[in-house]
Amino acid sequence: MTVENLIIIGSGPAGFTAGIYAGRAELNPLLITGNEIGGQVAITYEVENYPGFPEGLSGPELVERFQKQAERFGARIEYDYVNAVDFTQHPFVVRTQSGKEYRAKSVIASTGATPRKLGIPGEDELIGRGVSYCGTCDGFFFRGKEVVVVGGGDSAIEEGLFLTRFATKVTVIHRRDELRASKILQNRAAENEKMAFIWDTVVTSINGDENGAVTSIMLENVQTGEVSEFATDGVFIFIGHDPNGWMFEGQLDMKDGYIVTNRRMHASVPGVFAAGEIQDNHFRQVASSVGQGTMAAMEAEKFLAELEDTDYEVVKAEALGLELAPA
Ligand code: NAP
């Protein structure tokens, strides 16, 4: 069985960037895409804040460019989904849905996170047509329009405040009568004239017109059961993210489903690195994921160079600050 130098798991901005760097370092990396190539950016209508593209470009086009660039430097792309890993032995074991088993000297986990959906009628059909999970990405398209934000956490309020730069009115719809968001954000929201709140209410469906654009939502008051229709141009949903890291549980140190890394992208097992949203639930930007993918690939390169001079147990012991027992 071939032992890969580096397997990159995931094909979002972090994974492809790691592929570009590792490819250029002649590591001949293997990148396993996951089910949705490109991750969250692939479902983003337009990316306008990624440096180097002053006119902006669509999410799918950016993904295509990332992939082309990674392949140009020799990254091999495998369309498969990693469903198990074993980091207790070295070379590491990586298994996929299609039944393949790989061995690798190093691994970069960049499996990302998925914005949680409401799971209501109209939501999937109207994604990119008024339904969005990213204010920073899509807010600009709602200049002069009225939007709603669903959720009561930091993301909902922070993104809601951001959306007031464009929208004439931002109505936060929250299922309870108090916000989960930090006090400072709550105060800012209360002071903002463009923000309004509907409490104790859930969205039960999203309606669109014949052009496929959002026109209204159906609401239900969870206290009174009262049902109403609310006109809106956009529905921004911020009810949390689910990290795509279940396959690493029990193998790496994790916190709330996210991989714990140090500042140089090292996970708890030497030779395993993580980049992008699977280890960062705070910044969640293409640009920050790209930076983390760069760091992970550079660290993997350094790790592999060290491995050339000695064996894994020595590198591991050094990385963990352990003393090896004499042979
Ligand atoms: P979060 O804190 O988990 O908040 C999710 C919100 O969505 C909660 O208000 C929750 O309601 C609501 N919700 C969940 N499921 C729902 C459903 N099915 N229907 C309706 N509402 C639903 O998630 P987040 O806001 O994305 O934040 C994630 C983490 O990142 C947090 O630790 C947060 O502090 C951090 N963060 C920090 C900042 C910052 O510091 N500036 C910015 C963004 C995020 P309940 O309140 O009733 O549970």
What average pLDDT does the segment 169-180 reach? 97
Q: Between 319 and 147, where is the model more confident?
A: 147
- pLDDT at 136 > cutoff 80: no
**Nearest-angstrom CA–CA distance, 142 and 135:** 10
Residue 226: per-residue pLDDT: 98
What average pLDDT does the segment 34-45 reach? 84
pLDDT level of residue 45 (50, 70, 90 thresholds): low
CA distances to 67, 129, 205, 240 from 237, rounded to whole Å, are 29, 13, 13, 9
Pocket of ligand 1 (CB under 6 A): 118, 150-156, 158, 175-176, 180, 202, 238-241, 281
Residue type, position 60, single letter:
P
pLDDT level of residue 326 (50, 70, 90 thresholds): low
Q: Which of 117, 118, 161, 180 to mutate to test the pocket of ligand 1 (most atoms within 8 A of CB)?
A: 180
- pLDDT at 109 > cutoff 70: yes
- What is the tens place of the pLDDT at every residue in 271-299? 999 999 999 988 889 999 999 999 999 99
Task: Give the distance (Å) from ligand 1 centre to CA of residue 256.
Answer: 13
Residue 327: per-residue pLDDT: 59
Residues with Cβ within 8 Å of 205's Cβ and at least 6 positions away in sequence, in order, are 120, 121, 122, 217, 218
Enter the pTM of the model: 0.77
Residue 319: per-residue pLDDT: 87
Residue 32: per-residue pLDDT: 98
**Nearest-angstrom CA–CA distance, 86 and 139:** 42
pLDDT level of residue 320 (50, 70, 90 thresholds): confident
Q: Which atom of ligand 1 is nearest to the CA of 116?
A: 15
CA 203 to chain CA centroid, Å, is 24
Task: Give the distance (Å) from ligand 1 centre to CA of residue 157.
Answer: 9
Residues with Cβ within 8 Å of 264's Cβ and at least 6 positions away in sequence, in order, are 295, 299
CA 70 to chain CA centroid, Å, is 19
pLDDT level of residue 175 (50, 70, 90 thresholds): very high
Residue 223: per-residue pLDDT: 97
Q: Between 71 and 41, where is the model more confident?
A: 71
- pLDDT at 44 > cutoff 80: no
Residue 75: per-residue pLDDT: 98
- What is the tens place of the pLDDT at every residue in 53-100? 999 998 889 999 999 999 999 999 999 999 999 999 999 999 999 999
**At 183, phi and psi to the nearest 5?**
-55, -40
Average pLDDT taken over every residue of the chain: 94
- pLDDT at 253 > cutoff 80: yes
- What is the tens place of the pLDDT at every residue in 183-240? 999 999 999 999 999 999 999 999 999 888 999 999 999 999 999 999 999 999 999 8
Q: Which atom of ligand 1 is nearest to the CA of 241?
A: 26
Q: Which atom of ligand 1 is nearest to the CA of 156?
A: 25
